[in-house]
């Protein structure tokens, strides 16, 4: 999708990297363009394959308004509900600063690079077979094994 508010191009594209879905954003994210970002995040979450993340790459963003923060927060909540991680790539101060000031950086820790954001952290679910098995030998209070 492409919108050109005030002559500055805005682009949002979706790519698949392995099982991860990447939403690349370029231009200004504000009240005029956030609808397209919201749509791409929603589609990406629908396409997501856990444990692979959905990554929103903001390295091409020139301006990041409160509307973008709100949409990232909504996307983060939707991702949690779907059991998917939403990650953000941000390298510039004009994107990082609003994330920090709003407190959203505490919920979605920004990654410096796309490669960092694409790392899959497998977290086994509770009750899976990853819990250690107790030893068959029990030691009693006297210190003898049975």
Cα separation, 18 vs 130, in Å, equals 25
13 beta partners: 24
C-alpha to C-alpha distance for 143 and 2, rounded to whole angstroms: 73
- What is the per-residue pLDDT across 75-116, written as a single tens digit (0 to 9) for each? 999 999 999 999 999 999 999 999 999 999 999 999 999 999
Task: Measure the CA angle with vertex 125, ends 81 and 16; round to 5°.
Answer: 60
User: Distance between CA 115 and CA 111 in Å, rounded?
Assistant: 9
pLDDT of residue 96: 97
- Neighbour order of strands in the sheet with 86-89: 2-3, 10-17, 20-29, 54-64, 86-89
Interval 46-61: pLDDT, tens: 999 999 999 999 999 9
């Amino acid at each position: 999708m492409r919108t050109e508010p005030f002559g500055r191009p805005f682009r949002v594209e979706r790519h698949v990297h392995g099982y991860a879905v990447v939403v690349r954003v370029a231009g200004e994210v504000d009240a005029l363009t956030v609808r397209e970002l919201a749509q791409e995040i929603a589609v990406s979450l629908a396409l997501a394959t856990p444990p692979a993340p959905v990554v929103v790459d903001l390295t091409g963003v020139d301006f990041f308004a409160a509307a973008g923060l709100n949409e990232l927060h909504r996307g983060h909540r939707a991702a949690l509900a779907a059991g998917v991680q939403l990650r953000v790539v941000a390298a510039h101060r004009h994107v990082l600063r609003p994330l920090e000031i709003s407190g959203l950086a505490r919920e979605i820790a920004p990654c410096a690079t796309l490669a960092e954001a694409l790392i899959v952290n497998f977290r086994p679910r509770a009750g899976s077979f990853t819990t250690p098995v107790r030893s068959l030998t029990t030691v009693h209070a006297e210190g003898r094994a049975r």
